[in-house]
Amino acid sequence: MDSSIVADSRIIDHYTPYKQKLDAEMNRVIGISDQYLTHSRASESLMGNFFADALLWKGKQLDPDVQASFSTKGGIRAELKAGDITIGSMFQIMPFENVVSILTLHGADMLRWADYMAKTGGQPAGGIKLVVKDDKVVEFLVQGKPVDPDAKYKLVTYDYLANGGDYVTCFDDVIARQDYKQLIRETLIEYVSDLTKQGKHIQAQLDGRVQITK
């Protein structure tokens, strides 16, 4: 196809109203970020913390017993510029149709999760503090407390990771799993919209939740 082919005006007239509606929705402002949320391969990033915090927020809504959240760096596909936040920017961050999954895990498998994060240079997570030195976990807290290998924990993530995506093998022996119809992208939109309703802006921070040193 090249410029010699003339566009069919009937087709254009047919889809133009739909495109206009879609563009209007994608450009709809739902919140404000006070800073540029960068995304990198570092152990912790502003974008990663924002994403994990949104996931933990929704997880606790769905199940008040949820204690931690988990994503991977590869699952976050865009950064977030300072200023107006639109619906379209949420689609850029999470273009996939992944849904929320809540896993009930043995404490021993939570420790395996910590080892996975240590070996992969840290991953976006919420509700935890992870300290790694020389590729070894030296401190791992969930909701401020050391993990008990014999206790049970609830973690919110998404179906791709719960299924073992991104080489995640620590969820192969879950006690229970609940998948929801809630898309991760919808979660991000709801989280930002809720902040806006409270008169708040997005103010993600690097808070030391994942620390990796050599």
In order of their start, the domains of the chain are 10-202 (3.90.780.10)
Distances from the Cα of 127 to the Cαs of 5, 95, 169, 206, in angstroms? 57, 25, 21, 14
Mean pLDDT, the chain, as a whole number? Answer: 91
SS3 per residue for 5-23:
CCCCHHHHHHHHHHHHHHH
- Give me the sign of the Cα torsion angle 189, 194, 199, 204: negative
- Over residues 109-141, the pLDDT tens digits come to 999 999 999 999 999 999 999 999 998 999 999
Tens of pLDDT, residue by residue over 52-93, are: 999 999 999 999 999 999 999 999 999 999 999 999 999 999
Rounded Cα distance, 105 and 125, in Å: 16
Angle, nearest 10°, between helix axes 184-197 and 46-62? Answer: 90
Structural tokens at position 174: 């879950």
Residue 44 has pLDDT above 60, yes or no: yes
